[in-house]
A and B are shown apart, each in its own frame.
Chain A
Amino acid sequence: MIFKELAKNTGLDEDEFLEMVELFLEVGSSDLNKLQTAIDEENVQEVIEAAHSITGASGNMGFMEIFELAKGVEVKAREDSLDGAAEAVKSIKEKLDLIAETLR
């Protein structure tokens, strides 16, 4: 199972890691909603903050695809661009859904 390997990488027991995955899904969904709203409102500062939060959490968890997507949004937003941000949100959402399905 994929989580076993990720847990090993983080140095956590599998149970500890699974608890962290649940927390990550909760926080990640909330951050992703914030990110979507910020993009809709073209609020660059809030895009940076929400994307940064997702970057940090996914980096901790070792979910590197989500990390790269969120990092991309954050870096561009720091350059005052929201290009590709909406697509990235969609991809991140798909990946969160996949993690949630795997957890079940």
Chain B
Amino acid sequence: MATDKNIKILIVDDSLIARRFIRVYLGKMQITNVVEAPNVRTAFKELNKGGIDLILSDWSMPGTSGLAFLKTVRNDENFKNIPFVMVTAEGLKGSIAEAFNAGVTHYILKPYTYETFRKEIETVFKNERRR
């Protein structure tokens, strides 16, 4: 995964506020190549356009959940290697384990501050560089 400031990030969250916060936080990290999707259907449209380097997805969304989205991405030849970060309030141990079993790259628990968010995203970049 490219980890410079030009990486393209897809934010998937049904909440406009949550998407806006992530966009602003990424902006503070000088990451501005960001696209948004309010649901999984739109997320796939964005993925199909190409060039997505990292997915940040909510778990609990009306319609297809973030977990189902993750599983579909991991089973798709074109997208299976894209790092997938779950940004969610689903903090139950069982849920976290389920996401990791499904191949999630990293997990960020809501609610979070900018500092927490920044550290978590930097951890993702660091881990990806090691791969």
Q: Which residues of A contact B (CB under 8 A)?
A: 9-12, 16, 20, 23-24, 27, 49, 52-53, 55-57, 59-62, 67
Q: Which of B26-61 contact A (CB under 8 A)?
A: 28, 58, 60
**How far is it, in angstroms, between the C-alpha of A16 and the C-alpha of B13 when the chains are bound?**
20
B60 and A10 contact, CB distance less than 8 A? no
Q: Which residues of B contact A (CB under 8 A)?
A: 13-18, 20-21, 24-25, 28, 58, 60, 62, 89, 110-111, 113-115, 117
A23 nearest CB neighbor, chain B only: B17
**Given A11-B28, A20-B21, A56 contacting B15 (CB threshold 8 A):** yes
B114 and A11 contact, CB distance less than 8 A? yes
A11 and B25 contact, CB distance less than 8 A? yes
- Describe A's contact surface by its main secondary structure: helix
**B18 interface neighbour in A9, A49, A56, Cβ under 8 Å:** A56
A71 nearest CB neighbor, chain B only: B89
Of residues A12, A52, A60, which shows the largest number of chain B Cβ atoms within 10 Å of its Cβ?
Answer: A60
**How far is it, in angstroms, between the C-alpha of A68 and the C-alpha of B17 when the chains are bound?**
18
Question: Would you give 22 A-B contacts (Cβ < 8 Å), ordered by A?
Answer: A9-B113, A10-B114, A11-B25, A11-B115, A12-B24, A12-B114, A20-B17, A27-B16, A27-B17, A49-B62, A52-B89, A55-B89, A56-B18, A56-B58, A56-B89, A57-B17, A59-B89, A60-B17, A60-B18, A60-B111, A61-B17, A62-B111
